[in-house]
Structure formats: C-alpha cells, structure tokens
Amino acid sequence: MKISRLGIEQATGGRYVVCDTCPTKTAKTPWQSIDGTGSETTRGGTASSAGQSIAADMAIGPGGTSMRSNAKDNTDSNTATTASAKPLLTLRFPFDVSRIQPEHRQLLAQFASEVWPTLQRKALLVIGYTDDIGSHHYNQLLARKRADSVVRTLRDLGIDSVRIEAKGKCCYVADNETPQGRALNRRAEIHLFSNQNIKESFQ
C-alpha cells in the first residue's frame, strides 16, 4: 500500500501549500525561513540582520566621489552586464523579497537628485538578480520583480528613460555557500544603457 508523505511547497505567489509529493527542492526551500525583517534563516542558524541583508553601493557620477562600500567585488568575466563598467547604484534585497525598502527609497532619491543630472547619456538599464536558492523559473520572476520595483520608484522620481533586464539565478558577485554571500547576490543594479548592454545581453 502506498503511503502518502505530505510536505510543504512554496507556490509561485510566495505562499506555502501542502503537497502530496513535493519536489526535492522547492522554489525557496522550507528550511530557509524568513524572519520579521525578511532576512533568511538557516536551520539551527541565526538570521542576518536587516543591515546585512539590505546594503547598497553608490558611485556619484563618472569620476565623481565614490560612496561604494568596502565589500569585496568577486565579479568574473561572466557576471556583469557590462564587463568594463561598474553599476552606478546597487541595491540589495532581503531573502525572497522584491519590494522596495525604505533604505532603497532614500538612495534612489539621492541618485535622482545628485547623479542623474550629471549623466551625459540620459538612459538607464536596471538589472535584477537573485541568489541560487530555488528554481531558475522562480528566480527569474523574482529578479524581474526586483528590477520592476526599482524602475517604478525611478519613474516616480521623474526618471523615465529606463530599460529592464532580469538575470535570475545567474551572474553572482559572491559565493552562495554562505548567508553573507547570498545576501550580496540578491540585488538590483542601475547601469548606463548603451549598445554594449544589448550585445552582451544576447551572449
């Protein structure tokens, strides 16, 4: 007689459902939970703080004063949309979250008032990324939602010339073996848009 083994699986909408035969690895595996701040918690471990999970790097214009954090940049030749260009702004997201955080709004407002006016090319590309937990399909949707959230906020701030790209489960800047590394990979980057962006997105 077949014995049913009930389990829990996360649906695409983000809610958990009971399933008879669950995949061995669900969209965002149940043993990785979310605490009150949206930080990921591993079984038997502690959640990273909101300050660790939401970080940002900003460079004020080409050749301008750098506000970039001291986090090590592990980007290889296959990770960046433009291999020779650093993002103008990087926003990092809590685990499995795509909504804009208060810290993001402050940084985007600063970007709109201080960086955008200095740019000669008035066109931006926003790229959403995720960590490596879950399926490619789920993370592609999550990456797109993160980019969409940033673009909506930029448009609210008067910046309309923005294109969107999603790179879920791809193009990491840190090791996914640690919570700290995964936190660095959960991000959205703002780049200057150019023909080079188009060429490299098809490679």
Q: Give me the pLDDT at residue 18, please.
A: 52
Q: Give me the pLDDT at residue 19, please.
A: 56
Q: Give me the pLDDT at residue 85, please.
A: 74
Q: Distance between CA 60 and CA 107 in Å, rounded?
A: 11
Can you count the helices (H) and strands (E) in the chain? 5, 9
Helix (H, G, I), strand (E, B) or coil at 145: helix
Q: Give me the pLDDT at residue 58, please.
A: 52
State pLDDT tens for residues 33-78: 333 334 454 433 333 333 333 445 554 433 333 334 333 333 333 3
In eight-state DSSP terms, residue 61 is S
Q: Give me the pLDDT at residue 78, please.
A: 38
Contact in structure between 89 and 127 (CB atoms under 8 Å): no
Q: Distance between CA 169 and CA 52 in Å, rounded?
A: 20
Q: Give me the pLDDT at residue 29, please.
A: 40
Q: Give me the pLDDT at residue 48, please.
A: 39
Q: Which two tokens stand for residue 156?
A: 């609210």
Q: Give me the pLDDT at residue 137, please.
A: 95
Q: State which residues of the chain have pLDDT below 50.
A: 2-7, 9-10, 12-14, 24-39, 41-55, 59-84, 197-203
- Alpha helices per DSSP H over 47-135: 50-53, 102-110
Place of tokens 């595996």: 29
Q: Give me the pLDDT at residue 88, please.
A: 95
Burial of 169 (0-12, 13-18, 19+ CB in 10 A): buried
Place of tokens 């294109």: 163
Architecture of the structural domain at 48-201: 2-Layer Sandwich (3.30)
Q: Where are the domains of the chain?
A: 48-201
